[in-house]
Amino acid sequence: MHVKGRLMLLATVLVAIAVTVATTVVLLLVEPTAPRSEAVRTGALSGGAVVALYALWLNDRRRRVEEERHALEGVKVADERFARSVELLGNEADQVRVGALHSLVWLAGSTPRYKQTVLDVLCAYLRRPFDHPELRDGSTGAAGESDPEADRERQVRLTAQRLIADVLPWGEDPDQRIYDLDLSGACLEHFRLEGRRIGRLIARGARFHGITRLGQLEAAKPVLFTDACFLGRLDLRLARLDGGVSFQRTSFADEVALDRATVATFLDISTAAPAGQLGTFAVGPETRIDGSVEGWALAAP
């Protein structure tokens, strides 16, 4: 027992003795005819009550210390699990990398303070250089040379894309925090964030293969597609882009659907794709566009 604990115990004993003596004396003075044994017994009970209160306080203190210790152990275990999962992302076996991704997402669900960090790691994985024969000509599903290693990595990346959507809040999810995504330079295939709530989305120089589904996306901060390339249809229908959106020097191979989308703050498409590469920019009757639209061909759906 440390010095403070010893002092507390000594003080409790002294107080208990004082309460016992004081109670006994008061009872004898108030009722001098009462048996002394009864007065002493009552005084002892009063002193015992003081000791019992000290014991209760000590037990509560020990409980709180134990809870704090368990909490610290939980934080340590979570940190170790995170570090181990990140380390396994560099494993050569694709199934190990997939398992590491799922472990990170489980950690984000059980330990909310890790959610943005896990999203950063998933985005960092997708920003890694990637090449696949079927994506070299800007299409998906095209016949090409076989590359088993690229096929396995492709599946891992598709898992990472899906898990990003799983981590982000949507619908009736009570999590009102906003999470940022940085996919600059990433190679994405059939990327979807339908109905998700995000903060900032940075996808500068990213390549989007297949249909990119961002319908009903809610973005509180700017969405930046500067220098990006959409090799398939971009679906932003019913999206709410409160922070604005930038398509500077962005190229499109297919339609950009903005039916009933709300674009606030700014919509920068003044230096988008060159003539001949721009698809149909569908603008629904309820779409609000703020900012410069010079050089962009707008068409009703």
- How much is the pLDDT for 141? 47
Residue 191, both tokens: 């990327």
Neighbours of 10 (CB within 10 A): 10
pLDDT of residue 276: 47
Helix orientation angle between 3-30 and 36-88, rounded to the nearest 10 degrees: 150
CB 108 within 8 A of CB 167: yes
**Per-domain residue ranges for the chain?**
3-71, 89-299
- Predicted local distance difference test score (pLDDT) of residue 252: 85
- Report pLDDT for 279: 46
Which residue stretches of the chain have pLDDT < 70? 1-5, 9-10, 13, 16, 19, 24-30, 33-34, 36, 39-40, 43, 47, 67, 69-75, 137-145, 270-301
* 3-state DSSP of the chain: CCHHHHHHHHHHHHHHHHHHHHHHHHHHHHCCCCCHHHHHHHHHHHHHHHHHHHHHHHHHHHHHHHHHHHHHHHHHHHHHHHHHHHHHCCCCCHHHHHHHHHHHHHHHHHCHHHHHHHHHHHHHHHCCCCCCHHHCCCCCCCCCCCCHHHHHHHHHHHHHHHHHHHHCCECCCCCCCCCCEECCCCEEECCECCCEEECCEECCCCEEECCEECCCCEECCCEECCCCEECCCEECCCCEECCCEECCCCEECCCEEECCCEECCCEECCCCCCCCCCCCEEECCCCECCCCCCCCCEECC
Q: How many CA atoms lie within 13 A of 104 on its CB side?
A: 29
User: Any residues with CB less than 8 A from the CB of 287 and at least 6 apart, and which?
Assistant: 258, 259, 260, 261, 262, 263
pTM (2 d.p.):
0.73
Phi/psi at 252 (nearest 5 deg)? Answer: -130, 135
| Separation of alpha carbons 229 and 51, rounded Å | 76
Instruction: Give me 164's structure tokens.
Output: 């990003």
**pLDDT value of residue 269:** 74
Determine the Cα–Cα distance for residues 115 and 109; give it in Å rounded to an integer. Answer: 7
Contact 138, 209 (CB under 8 A): yes
pLDDT at 53: 78
Backbone angles phi, psi at 138, to 5 degrees: 80, 15
The pLDDT value given to residue 224: 96
